[in-house]
C-alpha cells in the first residue's frame, strides 16, 4: 500500500540519517519485529535495552512510510472524548486509558529530549468549532478534572484575550508536546543497536509459519528468521493480511509553511491547536520556525485519489490557518498526504489474535498513534517477560 503522497517535511530536513543492510542470511532471535516506523522503533528500543535479542525487519526504507508523514503532535487526548469513552467502557477503564496516554506523553518527552529530536513540551488548545460543542467541552472538562488531569476551560473572552481568533469555548491542557518522529525513529534504533538490535530494511516478510516453540519467517530476499515471538508493527498496512475489520482508513493532508518571522496571535508558548469538528484542523510549529498544519481528512479509496486531492485539500487547510492568524506572513513550502485510521472507540489494538500464534500486534491507530506506540512497547515487553500488566486488557482485540 502506498501510504504517502507529495513531499513530507521530515525526510527533507533530516536527509538519510542511517543506512541499513538487506537480510541475505538465516538467523535466530528472541523477538522479530516487522515494521521499521516509529512503532517498530519504540518496541525494538524497549526490548533490546532489556537485553532481549531482537531483530527488526522493514519492507521498505526505515521510517519512510507513515512515520515520514506524521505531523508529530504528542497528546494524551484520544479522538474519543473521555465522557464518551466512560459511556462505552465504564469510568475505570476510560480513565485508565487517558492516564496511560498522559504517562506516555511524559515518557516520550524524556526519550526525545535526550537525543535532539526537536522535542518541545507544549500545551494543547482544543477549540470548540460550534456553539453546541461548547457544552460538550464543559462536560469533558469536568470529567478530566475528576480524573485528576490538569486542564482549563476557556470561554470566548479568554480565547480572544490570548489568541488572534476566538471560539465558543476551548480546553487548554497543561501537558502535550511536539517531535520530529522521523528523527526519533532513527535515534532510537541507533541507541538500540548499542545493546544488540539487528536492523534490516528492504527485507519484506512474505511468510509466517507457526512452530511449537515460536515462528519461522520467510523474506522476499530468501532469508529465514526463527524467533520465539513476532511483533507486528505494520501500522496501516496491517488490514491487508489480518482477517478482521478493525480500522477505518482515511486520507489525511498536511503542509509546512516557510519559516515565519514571528508568531503573532499564537499565544505565549505556541501551543498545539486542534478543534472539535470532525475531521478536524490542527496546527503546530517546528524547531526551524515553520507552521505545520494538517486536516482535510477524506475516506480512503486509493492512493491515486489521494494524489489527486492533495492540492485542493491542503489549500483548504491553508485558508483555515490564514483566517486564524491574519497577521502572519507566509507561503507554503511543502505539501503531503498520508494514511490515517480510526477504531470504533478511538483506542489502539495491542495484543494477539489466533490467526498468528506466537505473534503480538502493536497497532497505534488514532490521532495520537505515537503515544499509543509508546504504551504498546511497555505492554508487550511485560507480556514477553511473563509479567502481569492489568492495563493490557484495555487494548485487546476482543475488548
Tell me, what's the pLDDT at 247? 85
Q: Using pLDDT thresholds of 50, 70 and 90, give the confidence band for residue 4.
A: confident
- The CATH code for residues 4-69+182-245+346-395 is 3.50.50.60
- The CATH code for residues 248-342 is 3.30.9.10
Tell me, what's the pLDDT at 114? 87
- What's the mean pLDDT in 345-351? 95
Tens of pLDDT along 127-152?
999 999 999 999 999 999 999 999 99
Q: Using pLDDT thresholds of 50, 70 and 90, give the confidence band for residue 242.
A: confident
Tens of pLDDT along 295-335?
999 888 677 788 899 999 999 999 999 999 999 999 999 99
State the CB neighbour count (10 A cutoff) for residue 209. 12
- What's the mean pLDDT in 370-392? 98
- Domain assignments of the chain as residue spans, ordered by start: 4-69+182-245+346-395, 248-342
Q: What's the pTM value of the predicted model, to 2 decimals?
A: 0.95
Tell me, what's the pLDDT at 341? 84
Tens of pLDDT along 183-236?
999 999 999 999 999 999 999 999 999 999 999 999 999 999 999 999 999 987
Q: Using pLDDT thresholds of 50, 70 and 90, give the confidence band for residue 3.
A: low
For the chain, what is the mean pLDDT? 95
Amino acid at each position: 500500500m502506498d501510504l504517502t503522497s507529495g513531499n513530507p517535511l521530515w525526510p527533507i530536513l533530516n536527509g538519510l540519517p542511517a543506512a541499513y543492510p538487506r537480510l541475505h542470511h538465516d538467523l535466530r532471535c528472541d523477538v522479530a519485529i516487522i515494521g521499521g516506523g516509529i512503532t517498530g522503533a519504540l518496541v525494538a528500543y524497549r526490548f533490546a535495552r532489556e537485553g532481549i535479542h531482537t531483530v527488526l525487519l522493514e519492507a521498505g526504507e526505515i521510517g519512510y512510510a507513515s512515520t515520514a508523514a506524521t505531523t508529530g503532535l504528542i497528546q494524551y487526548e484520544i479522538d474519543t472524548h473521555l465522557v464518551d469513552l466512560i459511556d462505552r467502557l465504564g469510568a475505570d477503564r476510560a480513565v485508565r486509558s487517558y492516564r496511560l496516554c498522559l504517562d506516555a506523553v511524559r515518557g516520550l518527552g524524556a526519550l526525545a529530549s535526550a537525543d535532539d529530536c526537536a522535542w518541545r513540551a507544549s500545551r494543547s488548545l482544543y477549540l470548540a468549532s460550534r456553539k453546541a460543542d461548547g457544552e460538550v467541552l464543559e462536560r469533558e472538562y469536568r470529567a478530566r478534572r475528576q480524573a485528576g488531569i490538569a486542564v482549563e476551560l476557556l470561554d470566548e473572552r479568554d480565547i480572544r484575550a490570548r489568541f488572534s481568533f476566538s471560539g465558543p469555548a476551548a480546553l487548554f491542557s497543561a501537558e502535550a508536546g511536539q517531535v520530529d518522529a522521523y528523527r526519533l525513529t532513527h535515534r532510537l534504533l541507533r541507541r538500540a543497536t548499542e545493546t544488540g538490535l539487528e536492523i534490516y530494511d528492504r527485507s519484506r516478510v512474505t511468510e509466517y509459519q507457526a512452530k511449537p516453540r515460536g515462528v519461522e519467517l520467510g523474506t522476499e530476499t530468501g532469508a529465514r528468521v526463527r524467533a520465539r515471538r513476532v511483533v507486528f508493527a505494520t501500522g496501516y498496512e496491517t488490514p491487508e493480511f489480518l482477517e478482521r475489520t478493525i480500522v477505518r482508513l482515511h486520507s489525511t493532508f498536511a503542509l509546512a509553511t516557510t519559516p515565519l518571522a514571528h508568531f503573532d496571535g499564537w499565544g505565549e508558548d505556541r501551543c498545539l491547536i486542534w478543534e472539535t469538528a470532525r475531521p478536524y484542523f490542527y496546527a503546530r510549529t517546528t524547531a526551524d520556525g515553520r507552521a505545520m498544519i494538517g486536516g482535510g481528512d477524506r475516506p480512503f479509496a486509493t492512493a491515486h485519489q489521494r494524489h489527486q486531492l492533495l492540492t485542493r485539500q491542503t489549500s483548504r487547510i491553508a485558508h483555515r490557518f490564514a483566517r486564524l492568524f491574519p497577521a502572519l506572513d507566509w507561503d507554503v513550502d511543502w505539501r503531503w498526504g498520508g494514511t490515517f485510521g480510526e477504531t470504533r472507540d478511538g483506542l489502539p489494538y495491542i495484543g494477539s489474535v489466533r490467526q498468528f500464534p506466537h505473534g503480538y500486534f502493536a497497532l497505534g491507530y488514532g490521532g495520537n498513534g505515537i503515544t499509543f506506540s509508546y504504551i504498546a512497547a511497555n505492554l508487550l515487553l511485560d507480556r514477553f517477560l511473563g509479567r502481569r500488566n492489568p492495563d493490557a486488557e484495555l487494548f485487546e482485540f476482543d475488548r
